[in-house]
Amino acid sequence: MDNSRPRTSAGSPQQSPENAVPTSATSAGKVGGSEGRAQPASWPLALGALGVVFGDIGTSPLYALHTAFSMKHNAITPDPQNVYGIISMVLWTITIIVTVKYVLLVTRADNDGQGGILALVALLRRHLTGRRNLGTAVTLLGMLGAALFYGDAVITPAISVLSAVEGLSVVSPDLGRLVVPVSVVVLALLFAVQPFGTGKVARAFGPIMLAWFATMALLGIPQIIAHPQILVSLSPHWAIELVLRHPFQAFVLLGAVVLTVTGAEALYADLGHFGARAMRLAWLTAAMPALVLVYLGQGALVISTPEAVANPMFYLAPPALQIPLVIFATIATIIASQAVISGTFSVTRQAIRLGLLPRLAVKHTSRREEGQIYLSMVNWGLFVAVMALVLLFASSAELANAYGLAVTGTLVLESLLFLLFASAVWRWGWWKIAAFATLIGLLEIALFAANVTKLFAGGWLPLLIAAAVVLVMTTWLGGSDRVSTIRRELEGPLLPFVDALRSTRVRRVPGVVVFPHASPDTTPLALVRLVRDFHVLHEHVVIVRLVHANVPHVRPAERIRVDDIGSTADGIVHVTIRVGFIDDQDIPRNLALALDQSPELHIDLDQALYFLSVLTLRPPRTPRLRDWRQKLFLALEKNQANRTEIFHLPPTRTILLGSELHL
């Protein structure tokens, strides 16, 4: 046999695994693939999108205009002319950012049907091969965007539930003292049910949110009829006129207006669950019309009843319906919070697959839906952070100061990455890029700048969270690179090791051993120790490499590659398993797939032993006080999830073997 020619399993790509690009028609290589695939925008999908994707932006009327009209946040009196200007700013901000940017443009930039800032980073990294500096910059931008998303994820459940429960104060001022305790109970229950999965509950999300959007529309229509002049707010000239009359106040006001588009980034992050067409159908036929009507209705109410600025959403309802509205709003905010929590799980797993975070245990809460996952450490970390915010800020108005900075930062970063994508992949001309930057980019920069003014009033909070996440990510990246370099020296090259087996006194014993190993050209550390220390090797040796492709999913037919190492007589083979960042890392199941695709592999997986290479890291023998990042890296590495669980290895047949390293 020609040893230089690898034997490849049926259906697997011939190119090198680390450079492999999916060849299927659904590949992210076909940019904007979701547009080109047969993806019917059915009403059931649109209904599901309405519940999961638009929960956050659908509950923003609970607190957005309440903040915008608050005299504490701006010095603009709620007279008709100013109200027309504020409502015009709100409606056109929603139109430009949500409808034009996300619904019509950004959702076309899918990575094999998946979206989100890290999916866009993975897509760009693949298309920027050979441009290392730009690829590094893209990774850093994505890292910062993901970090800001965590800040958003901490604030969203707190502000959403608080804003809903605050309706009790409208019913009766005496009930105001119950806002914080009730919010704490609701949020505690929400986080407590996460380990059980949300599949069954999610089926009800769509109908509930459809009813919520219909309720908002019905509450807004009577006020519009009573004050039809509010319809002039549909013209953008009122927003421009407000800016010209009160430039400083209008600039500060943008810090509250941005609250009307919170959750817009979820459109892109949840792309893979429903598809772009279903999202557009849900947004254009239900969510956007309802939001337009409720904001117009709130504006009309404030003009006719200025004292309603205290809480415009709940004053839209007749007194008899205010308590039911509080209950309904609380349910809607739970759905909005659930969407953000689930999104945090997904973003964390993507970050792990991209090497930005250490390995964490991922629990699948559904046997049919790959995206339904649970990460215990993330869930309870969020729980502690959210509870701290509720107790610290105690009201949605106070928490609103902290909210906008994370949202606008994410908006700006995603726009920048999208423009890089459109230029590098879609080959957009300069005029398209200039139009996007002028219409959307300048607005988002203005929104971000307005929220910077709230830095010391609470805006520091998401920045602090983002800084902590970036610190963890950069520490993990740097430490992992250093350890990988040292580990490669300890392992040594694979082919010379296999060649040396022929002249080494190694006893071959019956059986099958599997060595999970990340590098294609070095020897698994456990294999080195087994041969050198115990002078024994099993008859069949399988070295398994998991390759994390820059796509969400790799089809089974394209997932496996089997190569002989040395010669067939050695009984040593190398199996490469390519997985996307939403695929399961089940090594036994994928090896069974390799057996199906390569019948010449005669091994019994039911009796196989799995050897995990372990490199135990220790602090330096002469520690220095300034090596705090090294201590952080060691703490992260020590608390990684068990690879036996991650790879779904049978515990009774898994053996740990390796060495110790002092950093």
Model pLDDT for residues 388-414, shown as the tens digit of each residue: 999 988 888 778 777 778 888 889 999
3-state secondary structure of 642: coil
Region of 632 (left: φ > 0; alpha: ψ -120 to 50; beta: rest) is alpha
Partners of 507 in the β-ladder: 536
Question: Worst-scoring range by mean pLDDT, 128-137, 311-320, 475-484, 513-522?
Answer: 128-137
Q: Classify residue 17 as exposed, middle or buried by CB count within 10 Å of its CB (0-12, 13-18, 19+).
A: middle
Whether residue 372 is predicted with pLDDT greater than 70 in this model: the reply is: no
Cα separation, 266 vs 149, whole angstroms = 10
Whether residue 17 is predicted with pLDDT greater than 70 in this model: the reply is: no
Amino acid letter, residue 388: A
Half-sphere exposure of 8 (CA within 13 A, CB side): 13
Cα separation, 378 vs 346, whole angstroms = 11
What are the tens digits of pLDDT across the range 241-284?
Answer: 999 988 888 888 888 898 898 878 767 877 766 778 888 999 99
pLDDT band for 4, please (50, 70, 90 cuts): very low
Share of the chain above pLDDT 90, in %: 27
User: b/e map of 350-371 (b: 16 or more CB within 10 Å)?
Assistant: bbbbbebbbbbebeebeeeeeb
What are the tens digits of pLDDT across the range 584-641?
Answer: 788 998 898 888 777 667 778 888 999 998 887 777 655 554 578 888 888 888 888 8
Q: Which residue has the tokens 């049907």?
A: 113
Cα separation, 409 vs 464, whole angstroms = 13
Question: Worst-scoring range by mean pLDDT, 32-36, 42-46, 174-178, 522-526?
Answer: 32-36
> What pTM does this model have?
0.76
What are the tens digits of pLDDT across the range 23-81?
Answer: 333 333 344 444 434 344 577 878 878 877 888 889 899 888 888 877 454 557 788 99
Question: Worst-scoring range by mean pLDDT, 95-99, 349-353, 571-575?
Answer: 349-353
Whether residue 1 is predicted with pLDDT greater than 50 in this model: the reply is: no
CATH of 50-460, one of 3.40.50.300, 1.10.3720.10, 1.20.1740.10, 1.10.260.40: 1.20.1740.10
| Beta carbons of 48 and 205 less than 8 angstroms apart | yes
The domain ranges of the chain are 50-460, 492-662
Q: What are phi and psi of 353, to 5 degrees?
A: -65, -30
Which ranges of 541-605 does DSSP label H, i.e. alpha helix? 587-597
The DSSP secondary-structure symbol of 655 reads: E
Query: What is the average per-residue pLDDT within 11-21?
Result: 32
Whether residue 97 is predicted with pLDDT greater than 90 in this model: the reply is: yes
Dmax (CA) for the chain in angstroms is 94
Partners of 537 in the β-ladder: 508
What are the tens digits of pLDDT across the range 195-247?
Answer: 876 555 556 788 999 999 999 999 999 999 999 999 999 999 999 999 998 88
What are the tens digits of pLDDT across the range 106-143?
Answer: 988 877 667 778 878 888 887 776 677 777 888 888 88
pLDDT at 478: 84
3-state secondary structure of 201: helix
Give the pair of three-digit tokens for residue 633.
Answer: 């890296």
What are the tens digits of pLDDT across the range 433-460?
Answer: 999 999 999 999 999 998 888 888 788 8
Q: What are phi and psi of 519, to 5 degrees?
A: -90, 140
With residues binned 3-state (H G I as helix, E B as strand, rest as coil), the percentages for the chain, rounded to 5, are 65, 10, 25
Query: What is the average per-residue pLDDT within 2-28?
Result: 33
pLDDT band for 289, please (50, 70, 90 cuts): very high
Rg of the chain, C-alpha, whole Å: 28
pLDDT band for 172, please (50, 70, 90 cuts): confident
pLDDT at 485: 84
Cα separation, 247 vs 646, whole angstroms = 55
Contacts of 564 (CB under 8 A, 6+ apart): 1, 3, 6, 7, 570, 572, 573, 574
pLDDT at 481: 84
**Edge-to-edge strand ranges of the sheet holding 572-579:** 560-564, 572-579, 536-548, 507-516, 609-618, 654-662
Query: What is the average per-residue pLDDT within 462-484?
Result: 88
Give the pair of three-digit tokens for residue 519.
Answer: 């590098």
